């Protein structure tokens, strides 16, 4: 029974490894049974550059804050605006945006 479980686990692991598109990270370590390599199957976030945005980049009218209408619809901040606007005043400051990384 134990051998069947190990074989089944190995088969499922191999299928998952083949399904990955491009590994984003790889870790190697030495186990008691020999060297082991673990590859991440997490694809990169398509809009990861959005999380590096600054108020200066998004502030269209130059008032030093970002309001919802200044955020492009396809920007990650568009869907997370309420989360980032921690004081719920409808404006995102440098301090609020720096905590959104």
Tell me the residue range of the domain where 35 lies: 2-39
pLDDT of residue 69 exceeding 90: yes
Q: How many domains does the chain have?
A: 2
Is 92 in the same domain as 52? yes
Mean pLDDT, rounded, for 84-98:
95
Tally of CB atoms within 10 A around 17: 12
Residues 28 and 67 in one domain: no
100 and 75 Cβ atoms separated by less than 8 Å: no
Residues 93 and 52 in one domain: yes
Lowest mean pLDDT segment, chosen from 44-48, 68-72, 94-98: 44-48
The whole-number pLDDT of residue 39 equals: 80
Claim to verify: residue 58 and residue 25 sit in the same structural domain? no
- Please check whether residues 28 and 70 belong to one and the same domain: no
* Same-domain pairing of 56 and 94: yes
């Amino acid at each position: 029974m134990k051998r069947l479980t190990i074989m089944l686990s190995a088969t499922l692991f191999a299928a998952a490894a083949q399904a990955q598109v491009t590994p984003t990270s790889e870790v190697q370590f030495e186990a008691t049974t020999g060297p082991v390599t673990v590859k991440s199957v997490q694809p990169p976030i398509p809009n990861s550059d959005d999380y590096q945005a600054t108020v200066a980049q998004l502030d269209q009218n130059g008032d030093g804050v970002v309001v919802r209408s200044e955020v492009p619809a396809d920007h990650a901040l568009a869907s997370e605006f309420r989360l980032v606007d921690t004081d719920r005043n409808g404006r995102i400051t440098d301090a609020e945006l720096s905590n959104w990384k």
